[in-house]
Amino acid sequence: MTRIDGIIILDSNGKPLISSHFALHPPSYPSLHIDSFNTARKKAMADDEELEPVIWVNTLARGGGSMSGAALCHVQREGLCFLVPVGQEVNPLFAFSFLDAFLDTLKDYLGEITESAIKDNFDIIYMLIEEMLDEGHPMTMETNMLKEIVLPPTLMRKLLNVAGVSGLQTPTTQPFTAPIPWRRPGVRHSTNEIYFDIEESLDAIIDKRGNVLSSAVWGRINCNSRLSGNPDLLLNFANPKVLDECAFHPCIRYNKWEKSRILSFIPPDGKFRLLEYQAVASTSKNQIPIGVKANLVVEPNGGRFSITLSSRLSGRPLEDIVLSIYLGKGATAASATAQGDRKPIGVRTEESVADGHVGGGTWQFDPHTQVFKWNLASLVTTERSPTLTGSFASSEAQPTPSPSFDVSFNIQHHSFSNLRVDQLKVTGDVMYKPFKGVRQLARSGKIEVRW
């Protein structure tokens, strides 16, 4: 039977902060997984390798006599490690999906998932684990319903806990008896509004000639609904054919989508993720908004490199551009010169208006990680392409820098797939016309440029 054994949270040193109750296993079960994870992580760091996302752990069988095994799925956030042991027959994607939902819930409750935030809210996190994971089976996963059961941390709650007063929660509704599982009855708002955030990321591999070897666009639509009553919404897209491999929130009527490519749903109250998707393959081609020309020459005990950037996107600036270059295990020092236009924002020139401030940007080298980073605030087509020329020194006679480097950026009010919201209709037991807001954000995912 598909089930998750439990969840363990480790600090940056690999020591347990929180561990759920593994009722069906021996007391040593969580310790075996913690030790196996810390051992695998130390070995990966020593070998300068990435840690596998799923680790095999030898454990005692439930009978207690023979050896069995379990898979340990893990992710890291803000220096913390989140471990989920699962049985041999469980698909690891099931565990990662639960972890993703659990971390989203923690972020909604705590704001930032940090060690101090977890230590300050032990009781809340334990209660969330108990509600979200019932004997290994994910149960109450809706944040809105969880907040009816587990109060979020507030100043008043902290004062009551310090005073020794607890359990002062009087739910106004019975969440599990609500006619709509993801929405509590009797919702009222003074202003009726709903916001849609369309976020897309681009993964790509680019060769040294600038040709796109592979690319894919991934997206999600996050909502923030503040609508009274039980509104029944119809969301139409101008080009729904670009959506592929969709993952829907339970509120969406799947049959309606299959027939007419219209999203029909009664939304939860508050923030939630409406949809995740992959853009069809044809829309992800030729969508690389940044041009890169790079050259690397490896020499004895060092090397030289040069990089030129250009924007292929007219009308909107690329922002927060970062190039990350791994210079090899023996890299000890690096120096570089960055050049570019230095036009202040909004100053009109004879040709056009400069939409951003590029300059040469800034660079830094971390001798501990051997990673060289070049940072640019923005990049637009109307400015001269910024360039970076530099060199590095290495303790190795034959340095082995990475054969590729990573590029990241953000683009406000842009969509790689050109997905557009056409219309939002509201029906149901409501007598108002809500305010609708749509915002788009495009960012780089894993973009790899080969030398």
For 361-406, how does the pLDDT look when each residue is reduced to its tens digit (9 = 90+)? 899 999 999 999 999 999 988 878 899 999 999 999 999 999 999 9
Residue-level pLDDT at 66: 46
Spacing of C-alpha 250 from chain mean position: 21
Spacing of C-alpha 205 from chain mean position: 20
Q: What residue type is assigned to position 198 of the chain?
A: I
pLDDT in tens, 298-357: 999 999 999 999 998 888 899 999 999 999 989 999 999 988 875 544 444 444 333 334
The answer regarding whether domain 193-286+415-450 maps to CATH 2.170.270.10 reads: no
Q: Enumerate the CATH 3.30.450.60 domain ranges in the chain, comma separated.
A: 8-177
Tell me how many degrees the CA angle 13-19-21 measures, rounded to the nearest 5.
160
Those residues with Cβ within 8 angstroms of residue 449's Cβ, 6 or more apart along the chain or in another chain: 206, 208, 292, 294, 404, 405, 406, 407
Rounded to 5 degrees, φ, ψ at 177 are -105, 5
Q: What residue type is assigned to position 39 of the chain?
A: T
Do the beta carbons of residue 420 and residue 238 sit within 8 Å? Answer: yes
Please give the mean pLDDT across all residues of the chain.
85
The span from the CA of 444 to the CA of 22, in Å, is: 39
Burial class (CB in 10 A: 0-12, 13-18, 19+), 181: middle
Q: For a pLDDT cut of 90, what percent of the chain falls above it?
A: 50
Three-state SS letters, 168-229:
CCCCCCCHHHCCECCECCCCCCCCCEEEEEEEEEEEEEECCCCCEEEEEEEEEEEEEEECCC
Exposure string of 274-298, with b = 16+ CB inside 10 Å and e = fewer, is bbbbbbeeebbeebbbbebebebeb
Those residues with Cβ within 8 angstroms of residue 49's Cβ, 6 or more apart along the chain or in another chain: none
Q: Enumerate the CATH 2.60.40.1170 domain ranges in the chain, comma separated.
A: 193-286+415-450, 290-412
pLDDT in tens, 115-154: 989 988 888 899 999 888 888 788 888 887 788 788 888 7
Tell me how many degrees the CA angle 94-97-51 measures, rounded to the nearest 5.
85
Q: Specify the CATH superfamily of domain 290-412.
A: Mu homology domain, subdomain B (2.60.40.1170)
Span 8-177: which CATH code? 3.30.450.60
More confident site: 60 or 168: 60
pLDDT in tens, 412-451: 999 999 999 999 999 888 888 889 999 999 999 999 999 8
